[in-house]
Structure 1
Amino acid sequence: MGADKLDTVRKLLAKADRAATAEEAATYTDKAVELMARHGIDAALLADARPEQDEVGALRIAMEDPYSGGKARLLAWIAAALRCRSVMHAAWGGRVEAVTVIGFASDRERVELLYTSLLLQAGSQLARQRPHRAGESVAAYRRSWLHGFAVEVHRRLDAAESLARAEAESRRAHPSSPAGGRSVALVLADRSTRVEQAFTEAFPSLGAARRQSLTGSGFPAGTAAGRQADIGQERVPPRRLRAVGA
Structure 2
Amino acid sequence: MPDAEELISDALAAVRGTDVRLAERQLDRLMIGTGAADGAAAVDAALLRRLARGVGRLARHGWQPVDLTRLAARRLDTRAVGLVTDALAAQRRGLTGPVPPWWDDQLRDLGAAVWWDADETHLVGWSARTGCDRFTALRTAVDVLALVEGLPPIAVLRPPPGATGAGTARGGAAGGSRMLDRVRALLAKAESTTYPAEAEALTGKAQELIARHSIDQALLAGVAEPADQPGGVRLGTEPPYAGAKALLAQEVAAANRCEAVWSDDLGFTTVLGWPADLEAVELLYTSLLVQATAAMLRGRDERRTRGGGRRTRDYDESFLNAFALRIGERLRAATEDADRQAAARTGPERLLPVLATRAEAVRERVDSLFPGVTRSRLSVRDADGWSSGTSAADRASLGPGPGPKRQVRGRR
Q: Give the TM-score of the pair, scaled to structure 2.
A: 0.47
| Residue 43 (structure 1) aligned to one of 209, 217, 220 | 217
Partner of 1:126: 296
> Is the Cα contact below 8 Å between 2:229 and 2:274 reproduced in 1?
yes
- The C-alpha deviation readout for 1:65-120, integer Å capped at 9, x for no partner, is 111110011001111111111111136xxxx7211111111111111110010011
Partner of 2:379: 213
Letter in 1 for 2:360: T
1:189 aligns with 2:359: no
1:137, CA displacement in angstroms? Answer: 6.6
In structure 2, the CA distance between the partners of 1:124 and 1:12, relative to structure 1 (3 Å rule), is: closer
Letter in 1 for 2:250: A
Partner of 1:227: 394
1:31, CA displacement in angstroms? Answer: 3.3
| Residue 201 (structure 1) aligned to one of 358, 365, 368 | 368
Letter in 1 for 2:321: H
d(CA) in 1 for partners of 2:191, 2:319: 23
d(CA) in 1 for partners of 2:194, 2:278: 33
d(CA) in 1 for partners of 2:216, 2:343: 11
d(CA) in 2 for partners of 1:120, 1:20: 12
Please give the residue correspondences for 1:1-246 in structure 2 after superposition, counting only pairs within 5 Å: 2-12=176-186, 29-90=203-264, 97-130=267-300, 138-173=312-347, 183-207=350-374, 209-217=375-383, 218-227=385-394
SS at match of 1:102: strand
SS at match of 2:337: helix
Percent identity between matched residues is 40
In structure 2, the CA distance between the partners of 1:148 and 1:20, relative to structure 1 (3 Å rule), is: closer
Structure with the greater alpha carbon radius of gyration: 2
d(CA) in 2 for partners of 1:85, 1:23: 28
SS at match of 2:380: coil
In structure 2, the CA distance between the partners of 1:219 and 1:23, relative to structure 1 (3 Å rule), is: closer
d(CA) in 2 for partners of 1:203, 1:100: 10
More helix as a share of residues: 2
In structure 2, the CA distance between the partners of 1:21 and 1:149, relative to structure 1 (3 Å rule), is: closer
In structure 2, the CA distance between the partners of 1:23 and 1:66, relative to structure 1 (3 Å rule), is: closer
1:136, CA displacement in angstroms? Answer: 7.9
In structure 2, the CA distance between the partners of 1:113 and 1:137, relative to structure 1 (3 Å rule), is: same
Aligned residues: 217
1:24, CA displacement in angstroms? Answer: 6.7
Q: Give the TM-score of the pair, scaled to structure 1.
A: 0.76
In structure 2, the CA distance between the partners of 1:137 and 1:32, relative to structure 1 (3 Å rule), is: closer
Long gaps (5+) in structure 1:
175-181, 230-246
Question: Alignment RMSD, CA only?
Answer: 3.0
> Is the Cα contact below 8 Å between 2:235 and 2:270 reproduced in 1?
yes
Which of 1 and 2 has higher RCO (CA within 8 Å, sep 6+)? 1
Long gaps (5+) in structure 2:
1-172, 397-412
d(CA) in 1 for partners of 2:275, 2:371: 22
> Is the Cα contact below 8 Å between 2:183 and 2:209 reproduced in 1?
yes
